[in-house]
């Protein structure tokens, strides 16, 4: 009953926000010399490198429902075919989920159900799971299946109130992680949503490809299915600020058949200035494993985005459970290198993947946000020490993808893009630069770094929704 009352109260708050327009084994310590790096990038603190790892399609409850001290759940509300509601237990499952649940805008609204958070069972189950998802979507992954994620949380930071920028899928989520939003008109009343009508998702799309949009009419958001512009955009991204301040950056993404380079799964393929400029070759790579080469070769850029191969992404219906090992391999590469004391590794999942989450979005804005919760992990020698037995800290601060951008902006003194980075709370509160730098302990995993470095690419898109 307590959960039910809390959901009702949150629903009322959201309704008010919508009507008012919304709120806007171990290794020893590695001790590098940081002076040259600090001077080169002009930062005011010890962090001079930020690595953003973007995993796929998992809600917070799906991965951390039972994590001690976090805002999780072991049961959820489900609307029955008759329209009534009942509590159902969340089932412990394997990470390699065969159902690819829907996660478009219409599914978000169906699952949200005016703040009741009870419509998840009505979501579609994908090609291998025909019909409504029903009880299958009310699940959480057995912690033993994702031990590296829990090991990271046990030692460093887990954030339990990171919300997607928008209730939408992967195309806009990846744009949000470089731009903080997808508004496309000067009045900021029209934003991209869902995914384009053709692939690749960007400037390399076939002619006559269109995006879908949300338009704020002054009263409500109007959905325009494939009525928006060609997916080759000119809005400001973090790249513009980084370039203006001569701060190095790189985008690592997998190769895809039919795409140009990492076209289909590279957010910068949708940014015309990058796609048709010299940075497409200099700052964009179609091999995620290049992150290992850049770390070992002392060539890690100041800011990195890392998109994995499909099989390493945690995406449902891939037939593998290699995602946690992939993340652990990158974290270990940083931790066992001279970059350890000046790097923050941020792991975030791009969207909720349709999976159940009990926490309603805290507000709605005029651009289709906020969306549902996704997990966020932060690894750093200066990660705030919590009360856990290994020093893990659970942050309950309300974040959104703009929070990651704001942290990067402030770390390197870049100014603001002017989207959700303005309103968002920075993730800076999960760091404590006054504490002594922590030693690094290797994150155990079932797959080694060598496994990923020798793994042949699938040439398949990470997601298509």
Q: Find out whether 356 and 120 touch, Cβ atoms under 8 Å.
A: yes
**What is the pTM assigned to this prediction?**
0.90
Ramachandran bin of 355, using left for φ above 0, alpha for ψ from -120 to 50, beta for the remaining angles: beta
Element (H, E) at 215: strand 212-216
Tell me the CA distances in angstroms from 453 to 19, 253, 313, 457, one per residue in order. Answer: 51, 14, 15, 10
* Per-position pLDDT tens, the chain of length 465: 333 333 333 333 333 333 333 333 322 233 232 333 333 445 568 999 999 999 999 999 999 999 999 999 999 999 987 888 899 999 999 999 999 999 999 999 999 999 999 999 999 988 789 889 999 999 999 999 999 999 999 999 999 999 999 999 999 999 999 999 999 999 999 999 999 998 889 999 999 999 999 999 999 999 999 999 999 999 999 999 999 999 999 999 987 655 544 445 689 999 999 999 999 999 999 899 999 999 999 999 999 999 999 899 999 988 899 999 999 999 999 999 999 999 999 999 999 999 999 999 999 999 999 999 999 999 999 999 998 778 999 999 999 999 999 999 999 999 999 999 999 999 999 999 999 999 999 999 999 999 998 887 766 666 666
Is 133 within a domain? no
Any domain includes 309: yes
In a domain, 278, yes or no: yes
Q: Is residue 304 part of a domain?
A: yes
In eight-state DSSP terms, residue 138 is: S
What stretches of 20-68 show up as alpha helix (H) in DSSP? 35-41, 60-64
What is the Cα–Cα distance from 122 to 107, expressed in whole angstroms?
Answer: 9
Is residue 463, in this structure, part of any structural domain at all? no
* Alpha-carbon gap, residue 210 to 390, rounded angstroms: 49
Angle CA(63)–CA(145)–CA(71) in degrees, nearest 5?
25
CA–CA dist 123, 194 (Å, integer): 16
* CATH code for the domain of 347: 3.40.720.10
Residues 6+ apart with CB under 8 A from 307: 54, 174, 251, 252, 253, 254, 262, 265, 266, 288, 313, 462
Nearest partner of 404 among 243, 246, 178, 252, judged by Cα: 178
Tokens at 111, concatenated: 């699952």
The Cα 237–Cα 170 span in angstroms is 17
β-pairing, 75-79 with 49-55? unpaired
Torsions phi, psi for 457 (to 5 deg)? -65, 150
CA 376 to chain centre: 7
CA distance 189 to 366: 7
Distance CA 269, CA 118 (A): 36
Give me the residue label for tokens 């009534």. 84
Tokens for 330? 């990158």
Radius of gyration of the chain (CA): 21
Q: Which of 378, 383, 377, 379 is nearest to 434 (CA)?
A: 383
How far apart are the C-alpha atoms of 254 and 262, rounded to whole Å?
5
Domain holding 384, by residue range, is 2-73+141-453
Domain count, the chain: 1
- Asked if residue 104 belongs to a domain, the reply is no
- What pLDDT shows up at residue 34? 31
pLDDT in the model for residue 265: 64
Count of CB atoms within 10 A of residue 217's CB? 9
Q: Measure Cα distances from 223 to 41, 106, 369 in Å.
A: 42, 10, 14
């Amino acid at each position: 009953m307590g959960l039910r009352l809390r959901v009702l109260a949150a629903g009322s708050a959201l309704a008010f926000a919508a009507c008012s327009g919304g709120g806007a084994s171990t290794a020893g310590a590695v001790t590098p010399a940081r002076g040259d790096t600090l001077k080169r990038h002009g930062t005011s603190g010890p962090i001079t490198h930020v690595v953003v790892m973007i995993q796929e399609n998992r809600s917070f409850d799906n991965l951390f429902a039972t994590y001690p001290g976090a805002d999780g759940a072991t049961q959820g509300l489900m609307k029955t075919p008759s329209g009534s509601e009942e509590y159902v237990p969340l089932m412990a499952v394997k990470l390699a989920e065969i159902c690819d649940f829907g996660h478009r805008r219409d599914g978000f609204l169906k699952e949200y159900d005016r703040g009741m958070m009870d419509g998840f069972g009505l979501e579609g189950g994908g090609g291998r799971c025909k019909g409504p998802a029903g009880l299958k979507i009310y699940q959480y992954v057995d912690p033993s299946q994702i031990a590296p994620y829990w090991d990271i949380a046990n030692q460093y930071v887990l954030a339990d109130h990171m919300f997607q920028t928008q209730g939408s899928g992967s195309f806009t989520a990846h744009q949000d992680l470089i731009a903080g939003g997808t508004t496309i008109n000067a009045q900021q009343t029209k934003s991209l949503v869902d995914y384009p009508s053709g692939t690749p998702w960007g400037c390399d799309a076939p002619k006559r490809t269109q995006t879908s949009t949300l338009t704020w009419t002054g009263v409500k958001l109007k959905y325009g299915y494939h009525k928006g512009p060609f997916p080759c955009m000119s809005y400001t991204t973090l790249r513009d600020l980084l370039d203006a301040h001569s701060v190095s950056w790189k985008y690592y993404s997998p190769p895809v058949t039919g795409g140009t380079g990492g076209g289909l799964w590279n957010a910068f393929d949708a940014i015309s200035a990058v796609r048709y400029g010299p940075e497409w070759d200099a700052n964009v790579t179609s091999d995620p494993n290049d992150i290992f080469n850049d770390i070992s070769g002392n060539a890690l850029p100041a800011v990195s985005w890392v998109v994995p191969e499909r099989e390493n992404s945690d995406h449902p219906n891939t037939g593998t459970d290699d995602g946690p090992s992939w993340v652990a391999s990158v974290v270990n590469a940083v931790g066992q290198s001279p970059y350890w004391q000046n790097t923050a590794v941020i792991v975030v999942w791009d969207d909720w993947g349709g999976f159940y989450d009990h926490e309603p979005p805290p507000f709605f804005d005029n651009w289709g946000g906020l969306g549902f919760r996704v997990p966020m992990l932060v690894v750093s020698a200066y990660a705030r020490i919590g009360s856990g037995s290994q020093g893990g800290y659970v942050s309950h601060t309300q974040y959104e993808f703009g929070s990651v951008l704001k942290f990067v902006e402030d770390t390197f003194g870049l100014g603001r893009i002017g989207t959700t980075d303005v309103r968002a709370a920075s993730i800076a509160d999960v760091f404590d630069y006054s504490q002594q730098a922590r030693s690094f302990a290797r994150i155990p995993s079932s797959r080694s770094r060598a496994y990923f470095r020798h793994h042949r690419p699938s040439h398949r898109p990470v997601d298509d929704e």
